[in-house]
Each structure stands twice: as C-alpha cells, then as structure tokens.
Amino acid sequence: MDSYWKKRDSGITIRIIICLGILSLLYIVFITVLAYLGLGFFPIMIISAIFILSQWFFSDRLVMWSTGAKLVTKEQFGKLHSIVEKVAFANNLPKPKIAIVNSQIPNAFATGKSHRNSVVAVTSGLLDILDDDELEGVLAHEITHIKNRDVLVITLASLFSTLAWQIMQFSFFGGLYGAGRDRNNGGAIIIVVVVAFITWIASFLIIRAISRYREYSADRGAAQTTQKPASLANALLKITGRMDMVPQKVIKRVEGYNAFFIIPAISRGSLTSLFSTHPPVESRIQKLMDMEKSMHGI
C-alpha cells in the first residue's frame, strides 16, 4: 500500500481511451443509420455536424442547467474560491469556475470539456456539514476528475444515454400513434428504436465501466494533493450519513446524475442501487484510511 498513493494512475487513462473509442463507434453507427434511412450525403453531414458541435458546446451546460447549478463569484463565496484556487494550483491546472446548487442533498460534482473549460459545483447542503479540511478533500476529488479528463467521457456518455432514451420513447409512442395511418414507416421506426436501444445500452455500460474506477482514482488524487486522506474519508462519512436524512422525493429528482456526484443519491427501492455508478463507500473509506497510515507512518 505504501506505493499505491504515490504512483501515477495509468488505469484511468486506458479506460478513457477505450470509452472514447466506443463513443466514436456510436457516432459511426448513427451516421450509418441515417444513410440507411435514405438521407443524402450532405444532409447526413449537416445533421452529424450539428449533433457533434451541439454535444461539444452544450453538454456541460446541459448538466449545469438540469442540476440548477449557478456560477458564483469570489465576492459571494470567498473561502470556496480560495480552496479551489489552492487545489488547482497544486495540480498545475487553471482555476475552474465554481457553482452552487441550492439543494439540501450534500454533494459535489465536476463538469466541462477541458482543463480550461471546467466547473466544480457543490451543494448548499454540503457546505453546511463539512469543515475546511473535509471541503478541501471533496474539492480535490472533483478537481482530480478534471485533471484526469474523465469528466468529458462521463458527460458525453450521459448525454448519449439521455438522447437515446428520449428517441426510444418518442419513436415507440409516435409509432403506436401513427401505425394505423402510415404502415410504410413501421420498418424505419423499428430500426430507429433498435439503434437507440443499442446506443442506450452502450452508453449505460460505458458509464458503469469507468465510473467506479474513476472514483477510486479521484480519491487517491485528492489524497496526493491534500496529504489528508482521513479528511476526505470523514467527508464521505458525513455525506453518506446526511443523505439518509434527505426526503426520498428530493433524492429521486437527482438520481439521473449520480454518475457525476461524489456520493450517489439513491432512493430506497430504486433499481439504481443494483447498477451503482460508484464503488461501496466503505471500500473507499478503507482505502483512504490505508493511505493515511502509509503517509504518516501510523
């Protein structure tokens, strides 16, 4: 364990490359389906360009908008900005933008397309329960996600998953509504539904393939940055304990964004728990405490 927290994490890089390759394959499938449905070369190129550019420019904005995250200035949250600035400097990164989510759910996430275009968001509920060292650990965890560039993969895969799900619903119910009037479109609708389903499954698997590993990697990165793994472990314990006190209807509203959160918000009886995007918090805390012992010779 003594060398575990010191060495560079190459595993996250390999997983990111594989996941980006799968996402690229999904683009090719998308274009192939458009061609099969009879669209010409130029319409396909225009649609593909619009789709790719929209995904690139608006994917992180969509996450911000849907979670209700609002950018805040240093004048509004001076201590928060100072900690982020300190952690970003320690990782040789530009300072990310900072956002607050007005929610009693204690959580944090990062989003963005690059080191220079990234946002770290925390909820008001998180600020209420953590001390400065614990908050620094959580922010270092999120900034490690930015440093590793795994935020981009999760953002793109999540957008793919959301779009595919919406296409499936629209095509299925639209097909049922119009089936009696135009049976010539039945074959095309089936193809769209099948491809959308495959895309949704692929996106789902991509998110699960990288999510659990990236949380361990971000925990380790936070420990390397702050030299206080026990503080992050304490933060995880506090977040988990407070999560049980949040009303179930509040948790249900944010379950779709669990892949981004430092601790997933899972309602009781939810199928989400069967396909968790995160490793068990007990395992994460144990690894952090092992790092604490290794670092400080306990």
The confidence score (pLDDT) of residue 223 equals: 94
The confidence score (pLDDT) of residue 232 equals: 97
Residue 130 has pLDDT above 80, yes or no: yes
Task: Report residue 236's pLDDT band, with 50, 70 and 90 as the boundaries.
Answer: very high
Strands 108-114 and 97-101, bridge-based pairing: unpaired
Query: What is the rounded distance in angstroms from the CA atom of residue 197 to the CA atom of residue 218?
Result: 31
pLDDT digits (tens, 9 = 90+) for 211-224: 778 888 899 999 99
The confidence score (pLDDT) of residue 269 equals: 46
Query: What is the rounded distance in angstroms from the CA atom of residue 30 to the CA atom of residue 156?
Result: 15
The confidence score (pLDDT) of residue 271 equals: 44
The confidence score (pLDDT) of residue 179 equals: 46
Let me know how long the chain is.
Answer: 298
Residue 98 has pLDDT above 60, yes or no: yes
Query: What is the rounded distance in angstroms from the CA atom of residue 270 to the CA atom of residue 65?
Result: 24
Task: Report residue 2's pLDDT band, with 50, 70 and 90 as the boundaries.
Answer: very low
Give 96's DSSP letter: P
The confidence score (pLDDT) of residue 176 equals: 45
**Which of 75, 134, 136, 142 is an active site residue?**
142
Of 14-18, 160-164, 260-264, 266-270, which range is least confident?
266-270
The confidence score (pLDDT) of residue 94 equals: 95
Give 94's DSSP letter: P
CB 221 within 8 A of CB 144: yes
Query: What is the rounded distance in angstroms from the CA atom of residue 263 to the CA atom of residue 141?
Result: 11
Query: What is the rounded distance in angstroms from the CA atom of residue 149 to the CA atom of residue 12?
Result: 9
Average pLDDT over residues 223-230: 94
Mean pLDDT of the chain: 77
Please state the domain extents for the chain: 10-296
Average pLDDT over residues 68-77: 94
Element (H, E) at 139: helix 132-148
The confidence score (pLDDT) of residue 294 equals: 86
Q: In a 10 Å sphere around its CB, with 0-12 CB exposed, 13-18 middle and 19+ buried, how is residue 167 labelled? A: middle
pLDDT digits (tens, 9 = 90+) for 237-277: 999 988 878 887 877 777 766 767 888 776 544 444 445 66
Task: Report residue 127's pLDDT band, with 50, 70 and 90 as the boundaries.
Answer: very high
The confidence score (pLDDT) of residue 297 equals: 66
Identify each DSSP E strand in 21-86 by its residue range: 69-71
Of 80-89, 122-131, 256-265, which range is least confident?
256-265
pLDDT digits (tens, 9 = 90+) for 174-190: 554 454 445 555 555 67
More confident residue, 21 or 191: 21
Query: What is the rounded distance in angstroms from the CA atom of residue 39 to the CA atom of residue 21?
Result: 25
Residue 170 has pLDDT above 80, yes or no: no
Query: Is 75 a known active-site residue?
Result: no
Contacts of 263 (CB under 8 A, 6+ apart): 106, 107, 236, 239, 240, 243, 278, 281
Query: What is the rounded distance in angstroms from the CA atom of residue 92 to the CA atom of residue 115?
Result: 10
Task: Report residue 172's pLDDT band, with 50, 70 and 90 as the boundaries.
Answer: low
Helices and strands, number each (H, E), in the chain: 10, 4
Task: Report residue 65's pLDDT band, with 50, 70 and 90 as the boundaries.
Answer: confident
Query: What is the rounded distance in angstroms from the CA atom of residue 288 to the CA atom of residue 176?
Result: 53
